[in-house]
Amino acid sequence: MRNLRAAAVVIAALCAGRPGLARAQAPAAAAPRSAPDVEDRLRRLEGLVDRLATENRQLAAENRKLAAEIRGRPTAATVDHAVRASQGEGPRPPLPAPVLPGASPADPEDAPQGEAGVAETAAPGAAAPASDDWPTGGGRMLSALLDAGGGAGQVEDDRMGRFLAGRYDGGYVLVAPTDEQRTPFALKFNLASQLRYTGFARAADSWTDSSGLIRPILNQSYFSLNRAWFTFSGFAFSPKLRFNVSVFTTSTTNQTIFQGFFGYAFSEAFALYGGYYKVPGTREWLESARYTLGVDRTMANTFFRPSLSPGVWATGEPIENVYYYAGIFNEFNASYLTTPRNNNNMTYSGNLWWEPLGEFGPGYTDQELHETPVARTGTSVSYQRSFRESDLSGGATNPENTILRLSDGTPFYQRDALGPGVLALAANVALVSYDLSVKYRGWSLSGEYYARWIQGIATSSGTVPRDLLNLFDSGGLAQVSFSPIPTKLDVFGRGSIVSGHFGEGSEIGGGLNWYILGTRNLRGTVEVKKINHSPANNPLYGYFAGYSGTLVQAQVVTDF
């Protein structure tokens, strides 16, 4: 009845604003009122309609609540909480397990500020043209009534509304259940990309590796779609049975890789996954490539870290603010990941970290502007009986992968790398890392230390010199940043170093991060670094073994 009365009021208002129409319906009507009188009537009518619209919205909300109670359906707030929980986006920081390299669900904390709900269509009255014959107030009144009653029927039919769609929540929610027990299916899509310019000016023409080979150092200048990820994630049949499928492509090496995983979350303390994912050897490696402090990960991390590999792993939070990620994988540092493998040795790797002052958040910059200090500290341990890679160029299977190298950049399994006539076939490799990071009011400070042992070297020819039977390499990184314009601009500096029996390599530099929208979803970065004899090699990062010179990189990252 209220809607009918409101409609009658609107019709009367429209007639009052259109004298011709009033005369056609009532020939004996009095002469039209003056313009000020009509405007006064319209203002009073608008006030009445606004009150009716408010009451209508309240009634609609009460109807939805009552319908939800009758059917046992959650309220809107519960639905939103269920959607977040189904995507692994609870109040606690996410674990690395649900994240592919640079892929999304994974870091729910990078969801952009402000989220849209279910897609809405514009109210017809809102677009009504303003003219002398059609008072603009009439359009506003119709819009108010339509908006007020638009949601009343959304929960009337039990066959409708079992899924939410057209929603953005840290990604494009294609399907999300309103009741995850009755319809336990969810699907989210994420898209991220890195458009990059890389320029390198060499400081030398060539370098000599440990086997005596003289290798050229080349100047470089090129654009690339360095990384692009297309990720589908969600759950099926049970909110605890989760999956992630990702397509990763790069123009840098002209490769496209399919990767993914699935698993079951038994509890907050224990979730078991299997698939193709990161071996958790260092902290910076576990951080998404979208959230590095500079353009990409540091030289030292690229040298020491493991690669991606098929395997099984577990994650969880057994104690408040204490997290772990540990698993068994095929390989530690290799480009050869296909079957059949030429050995039956596996890689054992785990990472443990603690956030004693509360949620640390993603990445290294303090984009969240913490009012109180937050800290994260952790350690990683990895071990494998390594065997000679079939492709010493690295990245043959996945461009993110690296291979085992000596501290001067020479591949460990290259002939003559350990001495004339020596060809290594296998070795025990152990890596330990320790990291510490702090954020506070736009400032951030972080560091990581690496130690690696190579022992038990087996050869097919030649004899390894005694002083090379037990190789030890160490290194680290240090980073600092400050936000002169909070949430918009970061100024940072960083450096890293690698030291071992075969030499030392280092880098130092700095740059700017510009958060174009005030969030991590669109970021521009410019960085300049001085590199001295890089021991690391990976084209995605801009590092080439043995190179010395100046590296300039500029990049735009999109993360939707």
- Neighbour count for residue 109 (Cβ, 10 Å): 18
Residue 109 has pLDDT above 90, yes or no: no
538: nearest Cα among 375, 299, 234: 299
Q: Kindly tell me the sign of the dihedral angle through the C-alpha atoms of 117, 122, 125, 131.
A: positive
The 3-state DSSP class for residue 442 equals coil
Amino acid at 227: R
Look up residue 514 and give its two tokens: 């510009």
- Please indicate whether residue 518 or residue 142 has the higher confidence score (pLDDT): 518
Look up residue 349 and give its two tokens: 């790797």
Contact 452, 382 (CB under 8 A): no
Residue 90 has pLDDT above 50, yes or no: no
Which residue's structure tokens are 């290194």?
475
Residue 345 has pLDDT above 80, yes or no: yes
Contacts of 168 (CB under 8 A, 6+ apart): 112, 115, 116
pLDDT in tens, 200-251: 999 999 999 999 999 999 999 999 999 999 999 999 999 999 999 999 999 9
Residue 38 has pLDDT above 90, yes or no: no
Q: pLDDT value at position 2?
A: 46
Contacts of 278 (CB under 8 A, 6+ apart): 96, 101, 285, 286, 306, 307, 308
Q: pLDDT value at position 115?
A: 34
- Please indicate whether residue 507 or residue 5 has the higher confidence score (pLDDT): 507
Distance CA 225, CA 538 (A): 15
Contacts of 162 (CB under 8 A, 6+ apart): 177, 178, 179, 182, 183
Residue 429 has pLDDT above 70, yes or no: yes
Instruction: Provide, rounded to the nearest whole percent, the portion of the chain with pLDDT above 70.
Output: 73
Contact 456, 345 (CB under 8 A): no
Look up residue 155 and give its two tokens: 């929960």
Contact 380, 431 (CB under 8 A): yes
CATH superfamily of 163-559: Porin (2.40.160.10)
Contacts of 531 (CB under 8 A, 6+ apart): 299, 505, 506, 507, 543, 547, 548, 549, 550, 551
| Average of per-residue pLDDT across 93-101 | 39
Q: What is the mean pLDDT of the chain?
A: 81
Residue 10 has pLDDT above 60, yes or no: no
- Please indicate whether residue 265 or residue 50 has the higher confidence score (pLDDT): 265
Q: pLDDT value at position 26?
A: 41
The number of residues in the chain equals: 560
pLDDT in tens, 380-401: 999 999 988 776 665 567 889 8
Q: pLDDT value at position 477?
A: 98
413: nearest Cα among 401, 432, 429, 430: 429
Which residue's structure tokens are 């954020």?
439
76-90, 392-406, 407-421: which range is least confident on average?
A: 76-90
